[in-house]
Amino acid sequence: MSDIVKIRTALISVSDKTGLIEFGRALEAHGVKILSTGGSAKALREAGIPVTEVSEHTGFPEILEGRVKTLVPQVHGGILGRRTVPEHVAQMEEHKIEPIDLVAVNLYPFEATVARGAAFEDCIENIDIGGPAMIRSAAKNHESVAVLTEPQHYAAVLHELATLGGTTLVTRRSLAAAAYARTAAYDSAISGWFATQNGVEYPEKFSFAGTKKQELRYGENPHQSAAFYTSTPARYGVATATQHQGKELSYNNFNDTDAAFECVAEFDAPTVVIVKHANPCGVASAESLAAAWDDALACDPVSAFGGIVAVNRTLDEETAAKISAIFTEVIIAPDATDAAKAVLAAKKNLRLLTTGGLPDPAEAGVTFKSLAGGFLLQTRDAGRVTAEVLQIVTQRAPTAAEIDDMLFAFRVAKHVKSNAIVYAKNRATLGVGAGQMNRVDSARIAAWRGKAANLDFTGCAVASDAFFPFADGLEAAIAAGASCVIQPGGSIRDKDVIEAADKAGIAMVFTGMRHFRH
């Protein structure tokens, strides 16, 4: 028996009316009876497309300000009735329930309503009830019913209708899967919003959803597959970016670009961040992006080759020319001038992304990490240390210039994989030690890299993302040339570390805040 299901009756009730009129006209041309509600019926009727109101079809009016209009047997019986089961067919005939072969429904815009900051009651009224019920009913009975939850689904169904006279089981199953994914994402958004409204940070059941933006060529390694999904609420970055040139981003490009842009957003002055393998290898703030690029590149020009560059201003022509002088994978910026785009156009493999804005480093949010059989959920590291909270713990107090460099270095360290050590001077990194198993090695590696680039460490600041468990890590930084150090404090050996700082005559401050990053 053929699995083709002819479409005789369709029910259309959509909030997103993209393509609605063209879809309605095509169904009309194939002799399909169209049932509809509210605004959808009005739009179809005004376009001259014959439509029957659901209330007329069911003999039951819309009530409770439209909260009840499709939650009736004539609708759900028409969707759920199995055409291949004689008892179902007999009952449908007995109760004069007409089969519905296609359901085109997209939901009240709850996510958009929340995103625009609407009042609580407005958000409640934009929680769709009848829509998800019809979608789930149609998806369950995909043996006989096609369910369309997005305007982009129309074309495939119309193609089959034109070429085969109806929908195939393969298509109906695919649409059913998409339908359940849509209702799951919708419920996830609602449950998350309710948890926030109720002040519940970690509900007993937590879910999150994403929308596939693109499939990637491969994952972290070529034998892994990958895809990029966007989620809500939107945050400026790779999810909002427009790519102006170059081949598609890879999995690692996405990861590194996100790391670079989150880091550069920490700074108010014109700033450039260069990232390699998710770690900053050069960061600098200056009076212009071009000057900041020179200082950032000087920190580690070897690692910068093939890196990711983020800027926190509109990318200008001069800076674009400087960056494009070395091999760069990606540049991400809030915007770019036409002149900058023209300069970069000569580099066909370089990707330029503009995001429309910068993420707020202090904005609340959550991050997650997958584990075998589960995942870890935590709030985003939105901590920011200012001069007012610093605790001076040494005999020598730092100068204003040293405080400025220490805060700069500590802000960079927040974005470096632990154990992290960052040397900085004049709002530019001199050396970055990342991801080592002990803090001494991080301090030594960071100094070695900077001195290999012939940078002067005399009188620089050093930042540690966590406390020094022993004095040896600090002593390595002092040996490199550091005159001041910023660290969280809190070790049982803080006294020993402070004594080592006093012995060397350097200034040290505690932040009381740690920035582990794994």
* Start-to-end Cα distance in the chain: 57
Q: Fill in the amino acid letter for 441.
A: D
Q: Is 244 a catalytic residue?
A: no
Region of residue 387 (phi > 0: left; psi between -120 and 50: alpha; otherwise: beta): alpha
Q: What is the pLDDT of residues 123-172, one digit of tens each?
A: 999 998 888 999 999 999 999 999 999 999 999 999 999 999 999 999 99
> Quick check: is 52 in a domain?
yes
| Whether the Cβ atoms of residue 180 and residue 136 lie closer than 8 Å to each other | yes
Do 281 and 392 fall within a single domain? no
pLDDT at 1 over 60: no
Q: What is the pLDDT of residue 318?
A: 98
Q: Which residue has the higher pLDDT, 354 or 77?
A: 354
- pLDDT band at 76, cuts 50/70/90? confident
Report the pLDDT averaged over residues 372-381: 92
E strand intervals along 260-408: 271-276, 279-285, 307-311, 328-333, 351-354, 366-371, 374-379, 391-392
pLDDT at 420 over 90: yes
CA distance linking residue 232 with residue 281, whole number of Å? 30
CA angle 384–385–391, rounded 5-degree value = 160
Q: Is 142 a catalytic residue?
A: no
Q: Over pLDDT 70: what percentage of the chain? A: 99
CB neighbour list of residue 320: distance below 8 Å, 6 or more residues apart: 331, 336, 339, 340, 341, 343, 344
Q: What is the pLDDT of residues 179-207, one digit of tens each?
A: 999 999 999 999 999 998 998 988 888 88
Do 170 and 251 fall within a single domain? no
Report the pLDDT averaged over residues 239-261: 96
pLDDT at 231 over 80: yes
Report the pLDDT averaged over residues 236-250: 95
pTM above threshold 0.85 = yes
Long-range contacts of 209-216 (CB under 8 A, 24+ apart): 209/181, 209/184, 209/185, 210/185, 211/185, 213/239, 214/248, 216/248, 216/249, 216/250, 216/251, 216/254
Report the pLDDT averaged over residues 414-428: 97
pLDDT at 347 over 60: yes
Do 263 and 152 fall within a single domain? no
Q: What is the pLDDT of residues 394-410, one digit of tens each?
A: 999 999 999 999 999 99
Do 174 and 101 fall within a single domain? yes
| Whether the Cβ atoms of residue 47 and residue 21 lie closer than 8 Å to each other | yes
- pLDDT band at 372, cuts 50/70/90? very high
Do 419 and 501 fall within a single domain? yes
- Eight-class DSSP state of 307: E
Task: Give the pair of three-digit tokens for residue 420.
Answer: 């992290």
Which of 152, 180, 198 represents a domain boundary (last residue)?
A: 198
> Quick check: is 377 in a domain?
no
Mean pLDDT score of the chain, rounded to an integer? 93
Q: What is the pLDDT of residue 58?
A: 76
> Quick check: is 185 in a domain?
yes
| Whether the Cβ atoms of residue 298 and residue 453 lie closer than 8 Å to each other | yes
Task: Give the pair of three-digit tokens for residue 197.
Answer: 């409204």
CA distance linking residue 40 with residue 27, whole number of Å? 14
- Which CATH number goes with the domain that contains 82? 3.40.50.1380
Domain residues for the domain of 397 are 387-510
Q: What CA dihedral angle connects 34, 37, 40 and 43, to 10 degrees?
A: 80
E strand or H helix at 383: none
CA distance linking residue 484 with residue 477, whole number of Å? 9
- pLDDT band at 64, cuts 50/70/90? confident
Residue tagged active-site, from 277, 322, 341, 451? 277
Q: What is the pLDDT of residue 255?
A: 96
CA distance linking residue 157 with residue 203, whole number of Å? 40
pLDDT at 313 over 50: yes
| Whether the Cβ atoms of residue 292 and residue 313 lie closer than 8 Å to each other | no
Do 89 and 161 fall within a single domain? yes
pLDDT at 455 over 90: yes
CA distance linking residue 103 with residue 160, whole number of Å? 16
Do 331 and 453 fall within a single domain? no
Report the pLDDT averaged over residues 488-516: 96
> Quick check: is 432 in a domain?
yes
| Whether the Cβ atoms of residue 352 and residue 336 lie closer than 8 Å to each other | yes
- Which CATH number goes with the domain that contains 274? 3.40.140.20
> Quick check: is 286 in a domain?
yes
pLDDT at 224 over 70: yes
Residue tagged active-site, from 140, 244, 322, 341? 140
| 68-82, 183-197, 288-302, range with the lowest pLDDT | 68-82
CA distance linking residue 10 with residue 427, whole number of Å? 64
CA distance linking residue 236 with residue 90, whole number of Å? 56
Do 246 and 191 fall within a single domain? no
> Quick check: is 367 in a domain?
no
Do 76 and 182 fall within a single domain? yes
Q: What CA dihedral angle connects 469, 475, 480 and 481, to 10 degrees?
A: 110
> Quick check: is 379 in a domain?
no
Q: Over pLDDT 90: what percentage of the chain? A: 80
DSSP 3-state of 507: strand
Do 313 and 400 fall within a single domain? no
Report the pLDDT averaged over residues 444-460: 94
3-state helix/strand/coil string of 258-302: HHHHHHHCCCCCCEEEEEECCEEEEEEECCCHHHHHHHHHHHCHH
Long-range contacts of 230-234 (CB under 8 A, 24+ apart): 232/111, 232/115, 232/189, 233/114, 233/115, 234/115
Beta bridge partners of 14: 106
Task: Give the pair of three-digit tokens for residue 9.
Answer: 């009756």
CA distance linking residue 19 with residue 154, whole number of Å? 8
- pLDDT band at 85, cuts 50/70/90? confident
CA distance linking residue 17 with residue 41, whole number of Å? 11
Do 333 and 399 fall within a single domain? no
Q: What is the pLDDT of residues 96-130, one digit of tens each?
A: 888 999 999 999 999 889 988 899 999 999 998 88
Q: What is the pLDDT of residue 73?
A: 79
Do 294 and 349 fall within a single domain? yes
CA distance linking residue 188 with residue 184, whole number of Å? 6
Report the pLDDT averaged over residues 366-382: 91
> Quick check: is 213 in a domain?
no
| Whether the Cβ atoms of residue 136 and residue 142 lie closer than 8 Å to each other | no
Number of domains in the chain: 3
| Whether the Cβ atoms of residue 7 and residue 167 lie closer than 8 Å to each other | yes
DSSP 3-state of 228: strand
**Phi, psi angle pair for 96, to nearest 5°:** 55, 50
CA distance linking residue 442 with residue 417, whole number of Å? 10
Q: What is the pLDDT of residue 74?
A: 79
